[in-house]
């Protein structure tokens, strides 16, 4: 639920999500970033053992390029199912491809993912690229996800995106608890400082569960802050390829292990996949 003080702080379990791969940088940014189904699945297995309860997935072609191929998403899902116990599967619907291509893996893989993202509004990427996400798409994706038993994850890149979340709630497209990801540090996203995270949390709708996603060097301080506030966190090589300044992360598992350790120091118990399913109403 939205932060309301420390009365239940020590009882509320923290969900740790891991974003293993992403769709932008690849092995040129960190040679330890997994891009192929077996590589991703091996990394996810270690992350689940350490305490991650959700994995956020992108797919890559054999050459490492981003793809929304149903076959590639299916291959990743199958490889994870072979190696993991019960980790929650979360598919991206973001990227530069057509609207139809971006939702197809959610609708056509078997089984469907547990969760899938909805990027709520337009964003700049680099000097020439604008990702054009609109209200019509948000409604369409939320409807299709509901038909397939998939929970939407609302990706809020800046405060204006709360207008779109509130619209989806008002029109009956979403069920509680609303799963919201607060994103700081993207190019035209929320500027990554502590006051802005507080502001985002203050604007969450009643009935929301939230996690913090912070990019690059901001991942460690802002996810730590989120845990201290009673929120959940996302870590992983999609968002941050370094473990500390100048030192590339050895794996996604290394970043998950640090998040688990910090949660322990903050006396926040870490949610198992089954407990995360209960928290999120899956």
List, for residues 57-115, the tens digit of each pLDDT value: 999 999 999 999 999 999 999 999 999 999 999 999 998 889 999 999 999 999 999 99
pLDDT band at 6 (very low <50, low <70, confident <90, very high): low
CA distance 59 to 81: 16
User: By C-alpha distance, which of 58, 85, 84, 88 is closest to 73?
Assistant: 58
* Predicted confidence (pLDDT) at residue 8 exceeds the cutoff of 70: no
Which CATH topology does 16-280 take? TIM Barrel (3.20.20)
- In the prediction, which pLDDT does 11 show? 81
CA distance 124 to 131: 6
User: By C-alpha distance, which of 234, 173, 125 is closest to 164?
Assistant: 173
- In the prediction, which pLDDT does 1 show? 46
209 φ, ψ to 5°?
Answer: -110, 145
Where is pLDDT greater, at 96 or 210? 210
Please give the mean pLDDT across all residues of the chain.
Answer: 94
Beta carbons of 18 and 58 less than 8 angstroms apart: no
- In the prediction, which pLDDT does 187 show? 87
**Over residues 221-242, mean pLDDT:** 96
Model confidence pLDDT, tens digit, residues 112-162 = 999 999 999 988 877 887 888 999 999 999 999 999 999 999 999 999 999
Model confidence pLDDT, tens digit, residues 15-56 = 999 999 999 899 999 999 999 999 999 999 999 999 999 999
**Over residues 265-271, mean pLDDT:** 94
**Residue 42 neighbours by CB under 8 Å, 6+ apart:** 34, 83
CA distance 18 to 223: 12
CA distance 259 to 220: 8
Residue with the two structure tokens 């502001």: 199
What's the pTM?
0.95
């Amino acid at each position: 639920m939205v932060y309301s003080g420390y009365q239940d702080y020590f009882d509320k379990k923290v969900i740790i999500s891991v974003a293993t791969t992403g769709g932008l940088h690849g092995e040129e940014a960190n040679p330890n970033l997994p891009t192929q189904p077996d590589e991703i699945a091996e990394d996810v297995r270690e992350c689940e053992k350490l305490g991650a309860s959700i994995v956020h997935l992108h797919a890559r072609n054999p050459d490492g390029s981003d793809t929304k191929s149903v076959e590639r998403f299916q291959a990743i899902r199958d490889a994870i199912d072979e190696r993991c116990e019960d980790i929650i599967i979360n598919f991206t619907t973001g990227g530069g491809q057509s609207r139809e291509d971006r939702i197809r893996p959610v609708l056509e893989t078997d089984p469907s993912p547990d969760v899938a993202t909805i990027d709520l509004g337009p964003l700049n990427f680099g000097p020439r690229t604008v990702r054009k996400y609109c209200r019509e798409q948000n409604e369409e994706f939320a409807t299709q996800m509901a038909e397939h038993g998939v929970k939407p994850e609302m990706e809020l890149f800046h405060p204006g995106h709360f207008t779109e979340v509130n619209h989806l709630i008002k029109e009956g497209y979403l069920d509680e608890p609303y799963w919201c990801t607060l994103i700081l540090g993207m190019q035209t996203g929320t500027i990554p400082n502590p006051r802005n995270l507080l502001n985002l949390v203050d604007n969450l709708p009643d009935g929301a569960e939230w996690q913090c996603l912070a990019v690059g060097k901001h991942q460690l301080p802002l996810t730590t802050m989120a845990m201290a506030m009673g929120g959940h966190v996302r870590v992983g090589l999609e968002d941050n390829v370094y473990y500390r300044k100048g030192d590339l992360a050895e794996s996604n598992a290394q970043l998950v292990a640090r998040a688990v350790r910090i949660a322990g120091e903050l006396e926040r118990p870490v949610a198992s996949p089954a407990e995360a399913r209960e928290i999120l109403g899956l």
